[in-house]
Structures are given as C-alpha cells and as structure tokens.
Amino acid sequence: MGSEALRMIAKQEDLELAACLDRKNDGLLVKDIDGLPAFDARIYEDMEECFQNVEADVLVDLTTPEFGYKHTKTALEYGIRPVVGTTGFSDLQLEELSNLAEEKQLGAVIAPNFALGAVLMMQFSKWAAKYFPDVEIIERHHDNKLDAPSGTAVKTAQLIQEVRESKNQGHQDEKETIQGARGADIDGMKIHSVRLPGLVAHQEVVFGGSGQNLTIKHDSFHRESFMSGVKLAIDHVRKLDVLVYGLENLLE
C-alpha cells in the first residue's frame, strides 16, 4: 500500500513527497530503493525525528492498528494532518484522536476502506437494509491481513445498524456444533471472514427476503484501487478542522 501511494503521488502535479517513514532503510532516499519512483525524499525510521526535520502538511498512514494509532496521535501533536487507512481502532482510541484533532483544530481522516467502490457498496447496503433487515456479511482478504473481521465489514454493519432494528437472525433454537461456524455477531448480523492467498479485498453483503435475495458486492483486485480514495482524503483533510471517520463523509 505504501508503494502504491508513492506511485500515486508521482502522478499528481499538486502533491509533493516530503519524506517517508519505514522500519528500515533509514537515511536512504526513496529513489535508492528498487521499484519505487525516483523521489529525492529521505526515508526515516523514527517518526519524531522526521517531523522535527521535515515540513509537511499531511501524513498518509497505511500500517497496522497499533502503529496507526501512535502515528496519528504523533502527527496531530506536530500539527500534521493524518490520512489513515488502518483499521481496527477501538472506540476509545477514536474518541481520543477526535478530541485531539478538535483541540488542535486540525483535520484528520480515518477510512476503513479507500476504494470508492467499497464506500458506495457500504452506502448502498445501508439503504437496502431499510427494506431487507435480514443480512449477513462475507468479507475475503489476503492471508497476511492481521485483523478479522475487516474494518470495512465492521463499518458496514455499523451503517446498517443506523437504519435496522436489532434482531437475532436464524432459527431461535439454532446451535453451533462447531464454535464460530455462524461467524461473528454484531447486533444479530453475522460477519464471516475468509483469509486466502491470491485475494486482495472483497466483500459481499447478502440480504434475504421473502422469495428473494439481494447481494451487493465489491472486489478490489489490485491495491491501486485504493489510491483514488487516498487522493480524495488528502485533498479534503486540509480543509477540515475535525476528525472524520469514513470516506463516505467526504463524498457529495
């Protein structure tokens, strides 16, 4: 994802790469790394050292929940607006980061998914849930993904919760003969996570009704699919003075 972000920046006339953060290659230039664009920007291992030496407007973080939280907090403390594609933040962490962004009067964007098609899939699912309250979510990702269910699946369920009354789905006497067979449960909705080599990011939201099913599906076949959303968030975050969670809040 980081490499894709660099390639996206290289194509944009209105963006300039100030520096990179990486857990290795400290002191090298981006152009010194095979396969990356020929940027003269320096690579840092230490975030605070980077922020103390480099002037930047925006931090793009595409790491993990643990480090994404630390990076977002540090960026705000240094007056840099974060755009974060990491999932798995707790409600407490989001509240703390939101309060910090408001205190600093800095924009921040945290998006469970930067693919615009996935954002629309979530919005369509919220609309459909008004009429089809029985729903299950199946998300499929590559086998190196660390969190399950995905942030996109959780965000989808949360959006559906806004328009759907709580209900337990399936037979009242249903029993799992193998624990976890019915998947995770959010407000009576089931979420199923698949992790396999060859996958990137895929989700289908399956609605059931009398005599019919409705499936809303999105597939990302390449990480390039997320870059249009990253660019959208970079453009908007500089106009914000609060934290926004979810790319759908930036769409007209």
Q: Which residue of the set 73, 104, 142, 145 is catalytic?
A: 145
What is the full per-residue pLDDT of the chain (252 aa) written as tens digits? 888 999 999 999 999 999 999 988 899 999 998 888 899 999 999 999 999 999 999 999 998 778 889 999 999 999 999 999 877 788 899 999 999 999 999 999 998 888 899 999 999 999 999 999 999 999 999 999 888 999 889 989 999 999 999 888 888 888 989 999 999 999 999 999 999 999 999 999 999 999 999 999 999 998 888 898 999 999 999 999 999 998 888 886
Strands (E), the chain: 19-21, 42-44, 58-61, 81-84, 108-110, 134-141, 184-186, 189-195, 201-209, 212-220, 243-245
Q: Which amino acid is at 92?
A: L
pLDDT of residue 1: 84
Active site residue 190: no
Burial (CB count <10 Å: 0-12, 13-18, 19+), residue 105: exposed
User: Which residue from 240, 230, 151 is spatially nearest to 191, judged by alpha carbons?
Assistant: 151
- 145 in active site: yes
Query: Which one is catalytic: 126, 141, 192, 218?
Result: 141
DSSP 227: H
Residue 24's pLDDT is what?
Answer: 87
pTM over 0.85: no
Distance CA 40, CA 4 (A): 17
Cβ–Cβ < 8 Å for 97, 73: yes
Phi and psi dihedrals of 229, rounded to 5?
-70, -35
Distance CA 202, CA 221 (A): 8
Asked if residues 191 and 153 have their Cβ atoms less than 8 Å apart, the reply is: yes
- Phi, psi values for residue 99, rounded to 5°: -65, -40
90-96-99 Cα angle (round to 5) = 140
In three-state secondary structure terms, 207 is strand
Rounded to 5°, the CA angle 26-82-112 comes to: 105
| CB-side neighbour CA atoms (13 Å) of 216 | 22
Report the pLDDT value the prediction gives residue 225, as an integer from 0 to 100.
86
Cβ atoms of residues 249 and 233 within 8 Å: no
Closest alpha carbon to 108 in 80, 68, 81: 81
Which residue, among 159, 92, 240, 206, has the nearest Cα to 151 in the 3D structure?
159
Residue 177, pLDDT score:
92
